[in-house]
Amino acid sequence: MKFIAPILSILLLTAGLSACSEAPKKSNVSEAEKVAGRTLVSDNCSGCHMEAEDGTFSRISFIRKTPEGWDMNIARMMIFHGLEIEPQDRRALVKYLADTQGLAPSETAAHRDILERKHNVIEQGVDPDLAAMCARCHTYARVALQRRDKAEWQNLVHMHLGQWASIEYQMLARERDWRADALGPVAEKLGKLYPLKTTQWTDWQKAEWKDMSGSWYMVGHVPGIGDMGGSMTVKAAGEGKYQTAFNMIFTDDITGAEGINLTGMGKSIVHTGYEWRGTATLNDVKYRQIWAASPDGNRMTGRFFKKDHPEDGMTITAWRNIPENNGIMSIVPAALKAGKATEIVISGLNLSGDISIPGAEVTVKQASDSRIVISALALAGATGPAKITVGNDSAPLAIYLQVDYLKVTPEYGISRVGGGGGPIPKVAAQFEAVGYTFGPDGKQGTDDDVNLGRLPVIWQVDNYSPAAAAMQDAKYAGHITENGTFIPAVAGPNPERKYGTNNAGDLKVIASYHNGTRTLTAEAHLIATVQRWNNPPIM
């Protein structure tokens, strides 16, 4: 009887399997790719990272990372440990490691701002102890975008102690027993927060990683410039690589006027089934893409930025052109002043049907299934939250009588001195002034306030504090353009300044909006600081 039960179970289980009768899923990484990847690891790494009987390589097989994380790892091996590797092998090794020991989409979701090289990011919600331990030198994302067990986190601590002589002596380290804390409770905590084995990763490896080729529609916003709508055509080139072609049209989000047209070609690769990394040359300028695909492979989000100025770029939403993806992706501008005819650009995919704005007259000036240009005139008195409808889809739109207040974004900006004969270029800071109405409750700063989009304002900078005034920061740190771009001054000591200090400054950025007899102002804080000398892919 003891034997019968298991046999029965096996029979039942087999029956169950055949009832599902799904063909076994094709592995996301083919056997040939696995063999080629292992050979690369063996050829380039096994001189130091011994291969065990179970086929694992010491250290390497016990870590998971993003593509950038693996690439930084290889860079460190080259700089500090004399690894010599051909560029194509380095790329192939990153692909193999990111595909077989990567992070699932849900494991990177909270830290994409840093991965996407967004400027002005202040990481939120970081454990203060881990921030003091790790994020005083680099971003917290650099830690949170890795997976290791406690012993491997401890190895990482030992590496830090052996690589950076001052690590225990710096501020926020020297007042604690840094080494004991890092090897003890911190490694323990990291091992629990970010362990090697997770169900997210196991599930993602089992999921079907989609081919990205096809036709895509993109929308995005470039601060200080306007909004973009455009197409990306993707052709598969084998081994997770793609050829791309772009055609983008910009719209000034203040005037609604059509701006520049950006076109060009590029190449992309997909790591880990969803990490889209691209290069493109658009109107003779080199760009980079760091995007992530949704788990179903039909949508992507990320940043498109200039290769030489990662701070200068736009956040993109892209939809694959398939029947399921239909609707409005963006409206520019998304606010309509009552009584004033305004041109509005509606971008989306498979747009069809009637176009209307309740409370406003709409004239269609141009229409395709991805871009519609209308002229809208809201009737006087029809103010408040409204919506724009295209066929079965709709998106929010604000109708307003007057701008009640302004906000400057980002609230806290960073620029960096550069040039001046040095190797590091200036890093500018772009500000925008956004108008708001108080909303139905008539109060500023409540949830019902309505964002009216970017407004034309007059920009100026001033000293942020008495200490900044004493150092005349506003005089020396740089200037702001009519368009809200703060251009920092040159790098290096300035003999004209007190202490001969450089052109750093602590400034406030002031926007003034003149509307008839009223002038609204708003401020942001700008740290005009020094160069970053070390710019790794994950800061």
Partner 1 sequence: MVKKLIILSMMLWGTALLSVSSAKEYMIVGARPDKLYVIDIKARKVEKTFTIPDSTAPQNIVISPDGKIAYVGTNHLRSIVGIDLESGDVVFRADLDYKDDERTWNYGFDISPDGSEIYSYDIPTKIYLDRFESREPRLSVFKTNGGLEAKPVREFPLPRRIHLLMVAKSGALYAMGWDFYKVDVQTGKYEVAYPLRNWTQKNLSQPDALAFWPSWDNNGIFSTPIFYARTDMAEDNMERFRTGLLTLDLKTEKFDLIDFQSAPEVLFSSVIHPDRKTAYAVYNTLLKIDLEKPHTAKRIDLNHTYYQTDISADGTEVYVGGTTCDVAIYDSTDLKHIGEVKLPNCPDMGATVIRMIHK
* One residue of 381, 422, 440, 500 binding partner 1 per CB under 8 A: 500
User: Could you tell me the smallest distance in angstroms from the CB atom of residue 77 to partner 1?
Assistant: 10
Stretch that binds partner 1, among 115-123, 154-162, 238-246, 529-537 (CB under 8 A): 154-162
* One residue of 54, 175, 284, 482 binding partner 1 per CB under 8 A: 175
The interface with partner 1 within residues 177-236 (CB under 8 A) comprises 177-179
412 binds partner 1 (CB under 8 A): no
162 binds partner 1 (CB under 8 A): yes
Stretch that binds partner 1, among 29-37, 176-184, 211-219, 226-234 (CB under 8 A): 176-184
The residues near 16 (Cβ < 8 Å, ≥ 6 apart) are none
CB of 327 closer than 8 Å to CB of 362: no
475 binds partner 1 (CB under 8 A): no
The residues near 97 (Cβ < 8 Å, ≥ 6 apart) are 37, 41, 60, 65, 70
The interface with partner 1 within residues 32-51 (CB under 8 A) comprises 48-50
The tokens describing 251, both together, are: 């719209």
User: Could you tell me the smallest distance in angstroms from the CB atom of residue 180 to partner 1?
Assistant: 8
163 binds partner 1 (CB under 8 A): yes
* One residue of 1, 3, 323, 499 binding partner 1 per CB under 8 A: 499
Shorter beta-carbon distance to partner 1: residue 127 or 168: 168
3-state secondary structure 73-97: HHHHHHHHHCCCCCHHHHHHHHHHH
Residues 67-106: b if buried by 16+ CB within 10 A, e if exposed: bbbbbbbbeebeeeeebebeeeebbbbbbbbbbbbbbbbe
CB of 426 closer than 8 Å to CB of 417: yes
- What are residue 342's DSSP bridge partners? 376
442 binds partner 1 (CB under 8 A): no
* One residue of 34, 38, 59, 267 binding partner 1 per CB under 8 A: 59
CB of 494 closer than 8 Å to CB of 439: no
Shorter beta-carbon distance to partner 1: residue 196 or 398: 196
Size of the site for partner 1 (CB under 8 A): 27
User: Could you tell me the smallest distance in angstroms from the CB atom of residue 492 to partner 1?
Assistant: 12
78 binds partner 1 (CB under 8 A): no
17 binds partner 1 (CB under 8 A): no
Shorter beta-carbon distance to partner 1: residue 50 or 260: 50
165 binds partner 1 (CB under 8 A): yes
523 binds partner 1 (CB under 8 A): no
The tokens describing 119, both together, are: 């400027």
User: Could you tell me the smallest distance in angstroms from the CB atom of residue 157 to partner 1?
Assistant: 8
Q: How far is CA 223 from CA 104, 112, 141, 156, 168, in A?
A: 30, 19, 24, 38, 40
* One residue of 136, 174, 307, 365 binding partner 1 per CB under 8 A: 174
11 binds partner 1 (CB under 8 A): no
465 binds partner 1 (CB under 8 A): no
What count of Cα atoms within 13 Å lies in the side-chain half-sphere of residue 377? 5
The CB density around residue 109, as the number of other CB atoms within 10 Å, is 10
Environment class of 432 (CB within 10 Å of its CB; exposed 0-12, middle 13-18, buried 19+): buried
The CB density around residue 125, as the number of other CB atoms within 10 Å, is 6
Separation of alpha carbons 426 and 419, rounded Å: 6
76 binds partner 1 (CB under 8 A): no
Three-state DSSP class for residue 395? strand
| Footprint of partner 1 (CB under 8 A) | 48-50, 58-59, 155, 157-159, 161-163, 165, 168-169, 171, 174-175, 177-179, 493, 495, 498-501
